[in-house]
Structure 1
Amino acid sequence: MDRDPTATNPEFYHVVFENDRVRVLEYRDAPGDRTDPHHHPDSVLCALSDFTRRISVDGHAVELGLSAGEVRWLPAQVHTGENIGETPTYVLLVELKEPAGALTGALGPERQR
């Protein structure tokens, strides 16, 4: 089964940029919308709107609220999501194509701000 989010839920996920190192997905939904199980590699999530969601991973559910402008690291995972808030969800996901630890360069180890 293809667990790519653009295949499991093409009504929510759209590729806005892709090259050999990253893929950038735009995600939009409305209150009450749910996703089917899908996979993301290691990713960076950029919230473009305020939203509240329930994310389920391996049978464990968590409720998550983010504000526009917040940025989060997401380790590789298979999950489902549900918009449990009163506002639409609008995010960009930057999916990394390289395995963890593969990036090296002049800046040294991973740095976070």
Structure 2
Amino acid sequence: MTVESSSADPALTDPDLYSVVFENERVRVLRYQDRPGDRTTVHRHPDSVMVTLSPIRRRLSSEGKVAEVELAAGQVRWLDAQRHAGENIGDTDSDVVFIELKEPPDSGTVDDGVRPLGPA
């Protein structure tokens, strides 16, 4: 699995709302910030971990399905790979971090003696 094709990459479809804050060969981290009433165009997320930095209330739609999501600040949730459009239906700004997963490295173990200890 790779991160998105450029046509569905939220950092490209909605650059005013999504920004890439970190990327390497294993993950990409996006920051999402919007205001009440803001909407995204259809985009795709790979398997991801979502961290809410603020409370969020959103309406997500995809292929005729609609879901409303409400989460408090500080929530951490798994997000299966999906394609959707979203809308902030709350009365507060949204602030969310997405940690998008990429393929694991082809070789090596966690403690292979080569990788640095601690954050890199």
User: Shorter-chain TM-score: what band?
Assistant: 0.7 to 0.9
Name the residue aligned to 1:51. Answer: 56
5+ residue gaps, structure 2 = 1-5, 111-120
Name the residue aligned to 1:74. Answer: 79
Deviation at 1:51, TM superposition (A): 1.4
Percentage identity across paired residues of the two chains: 56
Listed one character per residue, the Cα deviations across residues 2-56 of structure 1 (whole Å, up to 9, x for unaligned) are 1100110000000000000000000000000000000110000000001100011
SS at match of 2:11: helix
What is the aligned residue count? Answer: 103
Separation in structure 2 between the aligned mates of residue 66 and residue 5 of structure 1, nearest angstrom: 21
CA RMSD after TM alignment: 1.8
Name the residue aligned to 2:103. Answer: 98
Name the residue aligned to 1:5. Answer: 10
SS at match of 2:7: coil
Deviation at 1:63, TM superposition (A): 0.6
**Which residue identity is paired with 1:7?**
L
Please, what TM-score do these two structures have when normalized by structure 1? 0.85
SS at match of 1:10: coil
SS at match of 1:6: helix
Separation in structure 2 between the aligned mates of residue 98 and residue 79 of structure 1, nearest angstrom: 22
SS at match of 2:85: strand
Separation in structure 2 between the aligned mates of residue 72 and residue 98 of structure 1, nearest angstrom: 20
Larger radius of gyration: 2
Separation in structure 2 between the aligned mates of residue 55 and residue 44 of structure 1, nearest angstrom: 17
**Which residue identity is paired with 1:81?**
G
- The runs of 4+ residues in structure 1 deviating greater than 3 Å are none
